[in-house]
Structure formats: C-alpha cells, structure tokens
Amino acid sequence: MSKETVTTKTTDWLDERLGVAKGSKKLLNKIFPDHWSFMLGEIALYSFIVLLFTGVFLTLFFVPSSKEVIYHGSYAPMRGQKVSEAYASTLNISFNVRAGLVMRQIHHWAANVFIAAIVAHMCRIFFTGAFRKPREVNWIIGVVLLILAIVNGFLGYSLPDDLISGTGIRIAFSIVLSVPVVGSYLAFLLFGGNFPGTAIIPRFYIIHVLIVPGIIIGLLGAHLAIMVRQKHTQFPGKGRTNKNVVGIPAWPAYAFQAGGFFFLTAAVLAALGGLVQINPIWLYGPYIPYKVSYAVQPDWYMGWLDGALRLMPSWEVVFAGHMIPTVFFPAVALPGVTFTVLALWPFIESKITKDKSIHNLLERPRDNPKRTAFGAAVLSFYVVLFFASSTDVLANTFNTSLNFVLWSFRVLIFVVPVIVWFFTLSFAKETSMVQDAGKRKRFLIISRSESGEYTTTEADPYSERHEEEIRELPEALLGHHDHQDSDHQDSGHQGSRDLAGAEHPTHAGLRGVDAIFRDTHHHGRDPKEATDATKG
C-alpha cells in the first residue's frame, strides 16, 4: 500500500468521524498579509513555545523548597555553605546536569525576548491603529497577556533564591503591604505570612509553572481564534480595500515561512543561551536577609518599576484614616493607571475622535500625527524610568553624587516626554505632507547616446514578487462604512480568486509559471499585461 493511499485513508477516516475537512480547507486557504512588522507577534509566540520546552526540562531537576541544606556540589566556592534547596538545585542544574546551564540561559533569554516581542507587537498595533473597531477585544487580551508575561517573568527569576532574586521578593513583599486596607491579607495569601518565610518559593513555583502559563495558553488560543475569525489587518496598497485581504495563503507559502521563522527564532535563543551569560547566581550567592548587593537591577521589563521607586519622593499620605506609604504610588498606582489606560485606549480614542467605523486597513504612523506623538511621548516617559533604575551605577561610573543623578532624572521625567511630543508631532505632520512619502524611488536607467552623452530615465515602479490572493471579509465585520473603499473598487479583484477558490480569468494563462507570475503587480505592470507576457 502506497504512502499516499495510507494518508488519504487516514484523512478520510478522520473526516468521517470529526468532520475536519471543511474547516481544514478554510483554514489552509486563509490569507496572510506579507509585511515584516507582522512577524513581531510570531516572535512572541515562538519564544513562548521555547519557554515551555525549556521550562519542562528545568522542572525535572529544580527543587522548589526554602529548606536549609549544606551545599556539597561541584561549585567549590560554595561548598559547606548553608543554602536553600532551591538555590542548591539551581546550582546543580547549572554545573551537574548535562546541558542544564544552557537550558537555564535559553529559558531566561526566551522570557526576555517573549516580553520584548509583546511590547514591540503592541507598539506596532498602536501606531498603525490596528486596535480600532472591531479588534478592541483582541487588544485587551494582548494587554492582559503582557501583564501575565511580566508577572511570570518576575516569579521565574525569583525562584533560584539567590541574593538578587531574594532582594526582589523583599521589595515585592513591601509593595503588597503598601496596598491600603487589604495589603496585609494579600501578603499573607501570596507569601504565607512574614518575610522571609518557607512558603514563598513553593507558592511562586505553582503560580509560575501551572497557573499563569495555563492562562497564557488559553488567552493565546483566544487571541489567534479571534484573529482568524476577523481576518488580518493590512497596510493600504494597490488592490487592498476595507473588504479584502491581500497576501499569501496559509498553505503552503505561509506555513513554510512561519515554520522557518520558528526555527530561526529558536536558533537565535539557543545562540544567546550558549554564548551570552545571564543570571549567574553562583556569583551572587544565596539570599541572606540582611545583605543587599551593590548595582542590583532586575530584568529589563521590571526596570521602569525600579526606576519609579527610586525617583518617588518620600511622601506619605493619610486618607480615610489609613496611611498610604510612599511605595504605593510608584509601584501600585502607576502600573494600575498604566495598564488600565492601555486596555481602554481603543474606547478612549474612539470617544475622542467620534470614530465608530470598521477599520481593516492600517494607518501609517505619519497618517495620524497626534496619536503617534502621544505614543512616542508616553514611551519616552517609561524609557526615562527604565534608565533611572541605574542611578547608583551612573553615579559611580561618572564619579558624581547620587543626589545629583536622582534629581536629574526627576527633571527629565517631565521634560523628555514634552520634547518628544513636539518633535514627533512636527515630524509626522511634515512627512505626511511629502508627496509619495514612504514609497520606493524608481531606479534610474543610465544610457549613452551616439554622441557620447549620458542620460538618465526612470525605470518602471518596482514591486516585490510575491504570491497574491484576495479574500472577501464577512459582511458582519464590514458594517455600513464603505466610504473608504471607493477609490479601490475597480482594482480589488484583478488577478484574484473568489470565495469558492475559483480562478479568475486573469489567471488563465498563468498555469505552469504560477510561482513566478501570480503577482498581479508584476513590476508595476497591469495584471493583464503580466498575463499576456507569459503567453508569449
């Protein structure tokens, strides 16, 4: 029996019982727009997959216990020292388990890249307006995913119980206690009582490896399902309207592209884990409550919170009979306001602009100068906070007083966003008025005349060769706001396929050279001209 027959019979058997053929065909024919910025979300997804694989490996050897033991492992400088079982098992993974250290470092790098990719992905969505109706729900899911990723990252690097992670847990304990009324109850729930205690590491471990990853997996599934249902957004261009999607089909073009990109992402993370040291806990030593190391900074995604804690003046407020400590404002109020505004931004912008239309075409940042300027100013605010997390290092490096560095950042936190706002607003307005802004310039053809003189002429506009398909969006997602599409009605269906997958007449002459000439742009020529060229 041939392999093809076995495959066919297997798929037929599954389809008879599960009815997967119709859904699979629709999924395989889904069209994905081809733009590099759409890969940012994929980097986050692939980094999370690497996190899961490396995390499973680490759970086989890590001991989530604060019980005190005497270390007798391979790392000579720590022999005979009293350490927790969590710290000892992490040293054992690093020095005794085959490939343990590289797995630890890949896991740590994957966490950093995962959160960085989410931030970059959300910036792309914000600056291009991809959060607008009907994609508000997916935007909120993305914000929740970012929060969970940051929380789980903090929990993860707190587990080894080294000096730096222990210091971070101590700060987190103080932050939870600063919450008025319910702070002490929350601290008991999360930390099991006073700090330090024996319940912290086991509870963090359960949250880190079971609860948060499970929620993230569920939200990722919902995020992708909504994207498939609503179709992908796309940048404006020839043949692209509010009613269609132009790009490459899921199978085989996008599948192979995505598969290759996954292995590329995994390879980069593996290279980082093998070549770039991160979190060398053997140099920090075990956590001892009365010790704090100099120049301690958390992972990058917690830097803005660290900076906010450093810059906040020593103000304490009494409200309704409750004293609100200084820590509450930068570590609880600021993140609360940040993520609340971020989650509600689609509705805030819709309220301000009074825009209730369906948006399937993206905006370039220069097309909406005010949104771009606001986003850039807010980002600069958090960048200043991030650099403020290294005030002690900067003071020591430049041989100046810590007080001077601290006050410099307190001034910059207000000045920099204002400067960035005006500069970005001016730049976006100017570029939006430039004719053909963002378009590639035509190549110049240099020719020589019989008299020996050189002349230049513009070549035909260049258009990348790629497989192009068009799919109609469901009417429910289009609403009654078709005014944006009037300029594209005639060009939206040339060289395309209809919903049933039937080939349009403009593709009649393309059989046998599909891979090369299915692009309807074909170096700027009319689709019919490209078809006629293949016939010759």
Whether 429 and 382 have beta carbons less than 8 Å apart is answered as no
Report the pLDDT value the prediction gives residue 443, as an integer from 0 to 100: 64
Torsion of Cα atoms, 415 then 416 then 422 then 423, to 10° = 140
Domain at 42, CATH number: 1.20.810.10
CB 352 within 8 A of CB 368: no
Cross-strand bridge partners of residue 286: 162
DSSP state of 19: -
Cα–Cα distance, 49 to 113 (Å, whole number): 12
> Domain check: are 88 and 43 in the same one?
yes
Where does residue 284 fall: left (phi above 0), alpha (psi -120 to 50 degrees), or beta otherwise? alpha
Task: Give the amino acid at 293.
Answer: S
Give the Cα separation of 214 and 48 in Å (integer). 12
Residues 46 and 6 reside in one and the same domain: no
Say which residues have a Cβ less than 8 Å from residue 220's Cβ, sequence separation at least 6: 45, 48, 145
Decide if 317 contacts 324 (C-beta within 8 A): yes
What φ, ψ does residue 256 adopt, rounded to 5°? -70, -35
Which segments of 373-459 are extended strands (E)? 444-448, 454-458
By residue count, the chain amounts to: 536
Helix, strand, or coil here: 519? coil
* Residue that terminates a domain, selected from 334, 360, 386: 360
Residues 23 and 87 in one domain: no
Task: Provide the terminal-to-terminal Cα distance of the chain, rounded to the nearest Å.
Answer: 43
Residues 112, 202 share a domain: yes
Look at residue 536 in the predicted model and tell me its pLDDT: 37
Domain total in the chain: 3
pLDDT at 513: 32
Torsion of CA 112, 282, 203, 145, to 10 degrees: 0
- Cis bond before residue 313 (omega within 30° of 0): no
Last residue within a domain, chosen from 340, 360, 380: 360
Q: What is the pLDDT along the chain (536 residues), one digit of tens a residue?
A: 455 678 788 888 888 888 878 778 888 888 888 888 899 999 999 999 999 999 999 999 999 999 999 999 999 999 999 999 999 999 999 999 999 999 999 999 999 999 999 999 999 999 999 999 999 999 999 999 999 999 999 999 999 999 999 999 999 999 999 998 888 899 998 888 788 888 899 999 999 999 999 999 999 999 999 998 888 898 888 888 888 888 888 888 889 999 999 999 999 999 999 999 999 999 999 998 888 877 778 899 999 999 999 999 988 888 877 788 999 999 999 999 999 999 999 999 999 999 999 999 999 999 999 999 999 999 999 999 999 999 999 999 999 999 999 999 999 999 999 999 999 999 999 988 877 665 656 667 788 878 888 877 766 554 443 434 444 555 555 454 444 444 444 443 333 444 334 444 434 333 333 333 333 333 344 433 333 333 43
Give the dihedral sign, CA 10/16/22/24. Answer: negative
Q: Are residues 65 and 187 in the same domain?
A: yes
**Three-state secondary structure string covering 271-309:** HHHHHCCCCCHHHHCECCCCCCCCCCCCCHHHHHHHHHH
Question: Of 326, 360, 394, at which residue does a domain stop?
Answer: 360
- Torsion of Cα atoms, 122 then 124 then 125 then 129, to 10°: 140
Query: DSSP states of 63-90 as a string?
Result: -----EEE--SS-GGGTT-EEEHHHHHH
Q: Are residues 444 and 349 part of one domain?
A: no
Residue 10 falls inside a structural domain = yes
| Domain membership flag for residue 365 | no
Q: Two tokens at 114?
A: 């995962």
- Tokens 């960035």 belong to 420
The residues near 426 (Cβ < 8 Å, ≥ 6 apart) are none
Residue 151 lies in a domain: yes
Same domain, yes or no: 25 and 109: no
Q: Output the pLDDT for position 436.
A: 64
How many other CB atoms are found less than 10 A from the CB of residue 89? 24
DSSP 91-147: HHHHHTSTTHHHHHHHHHHHHHHHHHHHHHHHHHHHHHTTTSTT-HHHHHHHHHHHH
> Based on the domain organization, do 207 and 344 belong to the same domain?
yes
For residue 532, count other CB atoms closer than 10 A to its CB: 12
Q: State the residue range of the domain holding 454.
A: 438-472+493-536
Residue 31 per-residue DSSP state: E
Angstrom CA distances, 388 to 18, 300, 326, stand at 57, 12, 17
Are 244 and 277 contained in the same domain? Answer: yes
Same-domain check for residues 84 and 73: yes
What was the pLDDT predicted at 501? 40
Instruction: Report DSSP letters for 471-514, one per residue.
Output: EEPPGGGTTT--GGGGGGTTTTTTT-B-TT-PBPGGGGGGTT-H
- Rounded to an integer, what distance in angstroms lies between the CA atom of residue 16 and that of residue 321? 69
Q: Which residue, 303, 288, 148, 327, is CA-closest to 222?
A: 148
Contact 409, 391 (CB under 8 A): yes
* Cα of 313 vs its chain's centroid, Å: 33
Instruction: Examine residue 374 and state whether it is found in any structural domain, yes or no.
Output: no
Rg of the chain taking only CA atoms, in angstroms: 28
Pair (26, 51) in one structural domain: no
Of 301, 264, 244, the closest CA to residue 482 belongs to 244
Domain match, 57 and 182 both: yes
Within a domain: 416? no
How far is it, in rounded angstroms, from Cα 116 to Cα 48?
Answer: 12
* 513 belongs to a structural domain: yes
Q: Is residue 93 part of a domain?
A: yes
**526 belongs to a structural domain:** yes
